Amino acid sequence: MKNRTWILILGALTLLATVALAEEGQSAADLWNKTKIVTAYTLNTRINPFDLEVEVRDGTAFLTGTVRTEEEKQLAEQLALSVEGIDKVNNEILLDANIPQNQARFDLSRAVSDANITAMVKSQLLWNDLTHALKINVSTNNGVVTLAGPVSSEEEAEEVLRIAQRTRMVEGVDNQLQVGPQAAAADSGR
């Protein structure tokens, strides 16, 4: 279900960006960069993308709208600058501390982010010859990855922990792995 939501969000953003192209006559590169910025805002848990407007012309992002804090305004600018193809940002976002937060959107964004983290950790475990990935349960809640299940050795436990800790966006790891012989026969679970 979470993957379906993710696909719907990206599909909707792409459709909206295509409509914007037809209406404004933007170049394909500008349209693509706008779509990447709006997607970055949508996936970020600190910014409400519905409060912001993004336009891109010749590699310059023009940001307008209203956010609650200076931190959110600067984050919006930094996310835009992080998009390849954006050379400059004209940040005209206004501050208004009285804007209500959209908790449902933040919850959805967090759920998508957590699902993405879980998938990244699990796929790395599947590709690693030292780990028995099918025996290891990986779950993520608010950026904290929980690892549970049997591993055959301390070496495997350390490798699983290292993979989780080095995965992008992971904020912490709860290691509940159990070292013991129960995982030794799991060679087919790689």
Whether the CA torsion 87, 90, 95, 100 is positive or negative: it is negative
Q: Which residues pair with 146 in a beta bridge?
A: 139, 174
Name residue 155's amino acid.
E
pLDDT at 157: 94
Residue 49 pLDDT level (bands cut at 50, 70, 90): confident
Are residues 2 and 30 in contact, defined by beta-carbon separation less than 8 angstroms? no
Tell me what the pLDDT averaged over the chain comes to: 81
Give the residue with greater pLDDT, 44 vs 158. Answer: 158
DSSP 34-72: HHHHHHHHHH-SS--GGGEEEEEETTEEEEEEEESSHHH
What digits encode the pLDDT tens for the residues 74-87? 999 999 999 999 99
Contact 121, 170 (CB under 8 A): yes
H-run or E-run covering 147: strand 144-151
> Global pTM?
0.47
Distance CA 148, CA 139 (A): 9
Pairing of strands 88-91, 94-95: unpaired
Count of C-beta atoms within a 10 Å radius of residue 187: 9
Residue 72 C-alpha from the chain's centroid: 17
- Sequence-separated contacts (24+) of 9-14 with Cβ below 8 Å: 9/42, 9/112, 10/39, 13/38, 13/39, 13/42
For the cut 50, the answer to whether the pLDDT of residue 23 exceeds it is no
Helix (H, G, I), strand (E, B) or coil at 190: coil
Shortest CA distance to 67 belongs to which of 88, 90, 92, 43?
92
